[in-house]
Amino acid sequence: MLNPLAAQFGLSMKFEGGNFTETDYTLSLKFTILTDVGAPADFARKAQSVGLPPDCWHQTFIGKNSKRYRIVDINTRNRKYKLIAEGVVDDKRWKLPVAWATHAQADLG
C-alpha cells in the first residue's frame, strides 16, 4: 500500500520489523532516496570510498568461485566484507570482499 506512494516520491520502502503487545503495534520502516536509475542516492559516494566506479550499481561480475554476482549495496562499516552482492541465478544476498569485484573489474558490465 505504501510502496506506490514511496515510488511516486522517488523513495524505496523496506519493512524492518516491529513489536506488538496486547494493546499496540510498533512498526519499523526504512525509506531510501533513489537516483534516476534506481540506485540509493549515497551509493556512488560509498563505491568511490572503497575503490569501485561510482556507476557500478547492479553491474555483474564473476567472483573467484566462478559464480556470477550483481552489486546491490556497499557497507562501509564492515571491515572485511564491504560489498553486498546477490547471486544472478538465485537472488541470494552475499557479503563479499571488495577485491572480488576489483579483481573482475574488467568484466563489470
**Domain range enclosing 64:** 43-107
Q: What is the pLDDT of residue 106?
A: 47
Q: State the total domains in the chain.
A: 2
In a domain, 38, yes or no: no
89 and 65 inside one domain: yes
| CB contact at 8 A, 43 and 36 | no
Cell of 15: 519493512
Do 14 and 62 reside in the same domain of the chain? no
Instruction: Kindly state the percentage of the chain with pLDDT values over 70.
Output: 94
pLDDT of residue 74: 95
Identify the band that residue 104 occupies on the pLDDT scale cut at 50, 70 and 90: low
Q: Is 72 exposed, middle or buried (0-12, 13-18, 19+ CB in 10 A)?
A: middle
Report DSSP state, residue 5: H
Q: Write out the three cell numbers for 87.
A: 547471486
DSSP 59: -
